[in-house]
Amino acid sequence: MQQVPYGSVDRDKPLIRVPFTRLAVITVCLPLLGLIACVVLALLYHYNDSTYTHCEVANYLPSISAAISLTPERYIWRFSIGLHSAPRFLVAAAYFSFYRGRFSRRLTEQLLSCLTFLLALSENVGLLLLTYVSSTETYSVHKSGFIMFIGSSVLHMLCTCKLWSWIAKYSLSSEEMMSYRQKRRLFLFNCCFCLLAVYFYRRHNKYCEAGIYSFFAGCEYLVVLSNMAFHMTAYWDFGGKEVMVATPPEGKRF
């Protein structure tokens, strides 16, 4: 039998090869489906517990924190976010590399690219923190994770839109232009409902009116969904790219 030397053609084939568009869809669908499952289960099986607040007035929708703190909802959410977080770090690194290539000789843009990358990491860490420390376990830590996630998310969107406004001054493909327009719309949408969520939350705590907390919960859903949609724009930004695990060429091995 003929011996095939190690290092032949088979050895150089990619071990994993995934289109970036598929990775983007999977990454967004994990928290989306997890959120839908948690809210539906909370409404069906834990309605009173999930809609209860200190005001003890009628409410009709659970907040996200309440929906993901119950059992088995918390395990569904943790499973979804656990699988979702690793690709998010990968996408953040991909964007950082993309911006460095676009702004290789511009100091201001490179500094903003670094800040955007750090905000993307902070957003993901905040999401992991609020996920694995529920509001019924250690509320102060959960609250800090939530504030970290929302603050980093809004600032990340703002910095991303600014970077893409600079890119738009030079050349954009039709897909990149579509992505840029959607980013701006989703950022404004997200900010509007963030402000509304804060308004309804403060109003609920101050006046304890029936149903107001449900308006807060609805705004919270839209904030999170618009955040997911914003990250989904990577579908257009890296439409022709692939994620691969392969053996590097001889000259590039360490």
Q: Do the Cβ atoms of 20 and 241 come closer than 8 Å?
A: yes
- Beta strand 242-245 pairing with 16-19: antiparallel
Average pLDDT, the chain: 90
Top pLDDT among 59 and 135 is at 59
The whole-number pLDDT of residue 96 equals 95
Residue position matching structure tokens 């969107």: 157
The residues near 243 (Cβ < 8 Å, ≥ 6 apart) are 16, 17, 18, 19, 20, 23, 90
pTM of the entire predicted model: 0.89
pLDDT at 58 over 90: yes
The whole-number pLDDT of residue 10 equals 59
The pairs formed by 203-209 with CB atoms below 8 angstroms and a separation of 24 or more are: 204/53, 204/55, 205/55, 208/55, 208/56, 208/57, 209/57
3-state helix, strand, coil in the chain (%, to 5): 75, 5, 25
pLDDT at 61 over 90: yes
pLDDT per position as a tens digit, 89-139: 999 999 999 999 888 778 899 999 999 999 999 999 999 999 998 877 888
Lowest model confidence (mean pLDDT) among 40-44, 66-70, 115-119, 155-159 = 66-70
pLDDT at 252 over 70: no
